[in-house]
Amino acid sequence: MKIGFIGLGQMGSGMAANLLKAGHEVTVYNRTPEKAQPLIAQGAMIANDIANACQGDVVYTMLANDEAVNAVVHGDNGILARLAKGATHISGSTISVELSARLTDAHASAGQNFISAPVFGRPAAAASAQLFIVAAGASDAVEKAMPLFDAIGQKTFVISQTQSAANLLKLSGNFLIAAVIESLGEAMALVGKGGIDIHQYLDIITSSLFTAPVYKTYGGLIADRKFEPAGFAAPLGQKDIRLTLAAAENLSVPMPLASLLRDRFITLAAQQGGERLDWAAIGGLAAKDAGL
């Protein structure tokens, strides 16, 4: 397929490279064009503006937040104005449920398809095509896009024909991860202050009840207090919990644990340098409050 790819951050670079490897014709665009160099070496063409990335069957966006997505979608040179009728915009970004619904309507009005396809996985998983993809959109459009998802991930879950459902699921998943971080942070503060070696503790719980990789990954970061450099930065985690709570408020679903997580992220943001830390750093706050 002929694909435009917009957004070459830690995640997008890996995804675009895997699309190339799978034999697709990929034109990349990034606000800061230097990031495109390694991909050009792998066979990508470069677009000098967004319009140029909208010439193919699909334009794939992988951006940090609602603002960044809005910036490439709207305007005279934006995706809405420049993508052909019948072509497809696939959004891999973690954006708000509300924006996803608005994009669905806007693309429909423009005669374009819109697929929401956020991913689970950190940069290493993006590089090794091991992402999990949650896709929602019109069935035929999603079916056509499956080869792309196969190229970048280990498994694709088609969740709904309503695009925003994929965003809601993605947000809820990040909430679940943040809950793991918080629970580990509290448990490790408790047993650590109680005299138990927290690395041994982590070995025990992750080789018995909590065998999911998230426990090992985040437990290890907390045990080592290794919150820099950030694999997934705290402000992004804060954004995701904010969007989760916004969706929950719109649906009238009280989520007290999400509220607690929100307060943790704000506490982190108030610390000097807090914005540079990995979101795992909220797992260090219980220990701090305990005077450790």
Instruction: Name the minimum Å distance from CB 289 to its own copies.
Output: 5
Question: Would you say 36 or 241 has its CB closer to its own copies?
Answer: 241
* 22-45 as b/e: b if 16+ CB within 10 A: eebebbbbbeeeebbeebeeeebb
* 257-283 as b/e: b if 16+ CB within 10 A: ebeebbebbeebeeeeebeebbbbbbb
Q: x/- string (CB under 8 A) for its own copies, residues 85-124?
A: ------------x----------------------x----
Helix runs in 194-283, H state only: 198-206, 213-223, 234-250, 256-270
Amino acid at 90: I
Conformational region of residue 111, where left means phi above 0, alpha means psi within -120 to 50, and beta covers everything else? left
Q: Which positions from 255 through 284 interact with its own copies, judged by CB under 8 A?
A: 255-260, 262-264, 266-267, 269-272
Does the annotation count 21 as an active-site position? no
Active-site residue (options: 21, 85, 155, 170): 170
Instruction: Name the minimum Å distance from CB 4 to its own copies.
Output: 28
Q: Is 65 in the site for its own copies (CB under 8 A)?
A: no
User: What are the C-alpha distances in Å from 182 to residues 89, 195, 215, 254?
Assistant: 35, 20, 11, 18
The residue to which tokens 């000097």 are assigned: 272
Question: Would you say 26 or 151 has its CB closer to its own copies?
Answer: 151
Question: Would you say 2 or 242 has its CB closer to its own copies?
Answer: 242
Binders of its own copies: how many residues, by CB under 8 A?
Answer: 72
Q: Which positions from 136 through 175 interact with its own copies, judged by CB under 8 A?
A: 155, 157, 159-160, 162, 165, 168-169, 172-173, 175
Helix (H, G, I), strand (E, B) or coil at 157: strand
Question: Would you say 32 or 194 has its CB closer to its own copies?
Answer: 194
- Do residues 218 and 193 lie in contact, with contact meaning Cβ atoms separated by under 8 Å? no
Helix (H, G, I), strand (E, B) or coil at 132: strand
Q: Which positions from 171 through 210 interact with its own copies, judged by CB under 8 A?
A: 172-173, 175-177, 179-180, 182-184, 186-187, 189-191, 193-196, 200-201, 204-205, 207-210
Instruction: By CB under 8 A, name the one of 38, 143, 211, 225 that touches its own copies.
Output: 211
Residues annotated as part of the active site: 170
